[in-house]
A and B are shown apart, each in its own frame.
Chain A
Amino acid sequence: KAGVTQTPRYLIKTRGQQVTLSCSPISGHRSVSWYQQTPGQGLQFLFEYFSETQRNKGNFPGRFSGRQFSNSRSEMNVSTLELGDSALYLCASSLNGATTDTQYFGPGTRLTVL
């Protein structure tokens, strides 16, 4: 089975622009979660989607949004980019979205904001 894939792997944007990142979960997985990793803050939860509905949301401003499609693929969007948005963005998928499910992580998208 193919693992979680994320595109693009690397991205360079300038302040004020917007960006869309994509995540394809493991086939059959219905839950996709997004995390931001920065050197100062570690791994922080952004949001979780299950069956096309946002189920949980972390403490991030409204500039961060996401969605999930009927095939479970997910996208996250960041509008009006700030320098502090430079980070590694990871997505993870799990089979049924239960808290006891193993979450499988993708390789991440490295976003640099100049």
Chain B
Amino acid sequence: ILNVEQSPQSLHVQEGDSTNFTCSFPSSNFYALHWYRWETAKSPEALFVMTLNGDEKKKGRISATLNTKEGYSYLYIKGSQPEDSATYLCAFSHNAGNMLTFGGGTRLMVKP
């Protein structure tokens, strides 16, 4: 059984705060690490697909880093806005197909 852990489970921040979450995954048989944002009543939206150790990806105010040797990834949000309120999910791939093992998510709430 593969364990993908995300912390914290939930986070309340004020508008303008910067924040970060952690995703831990098995360091063996690593193929890729995916990050998704899931807003209530919408479909999960892909943020990043990361494959290489040391990889850093950025999309607007959101960025992510990857450490495959120790099995963790960080997601950073700079200057949080109310529209960033969502559940952020990471998902680990350990084979060549599209089989993803998801973490439990971090629920972010940004207060105006």
Could you tell me which A residues sit within 8 Å of B by CB distance?
3-4, 31, 33, 35, 42-45, 48, 50, 55-56, 58, 90, 92, 94, 97-108
Contact = CB atoms under 8 A, between A and B. Distances in A.
22 contacts: A31-B97, A31-B98, A35-B100, A35-B102, A42-B103, A43-B91, A44-B102, A45-B99, A50-B97, A58-B99, A90-B43, A97-B98, A99-B31, A99-B95, A100-B32, A100-B49, A101-B49, A101-B98, A102-B34, A103-B100, A105-B43, A105-B44
A89 B30 CA distance: 26
Nearest to B103: A42
A31 B97 CA distance: 9
Given A99-B31, A100-B49, A4 B100 contact: no
B102 A99 contact: no
Contacts of A45: 99-102
Give the size range of B's interface with the partner. 20 to 34
Nearest to A94: B98
B34 A55 contact: no
B26 interface: no
A100 B51 CA distance: 7
A3 B51 CA distance: 25
B84 to A, nearest CB: 19
A97 B93 CA distance: 12
Given A100-B32, A100-B49, A103-B34, A55 B97 contact: yes
Contacts of B108: none
A102 B46 contact: yes
A33 B43 contact: no
Contacts of A104: 43, 46
Interface in B70-112: 89, 91, 93, 95-105
A44 B102 CA distance: 7
B98 to A, nearest CB: 5
B89 A43 contact: yes
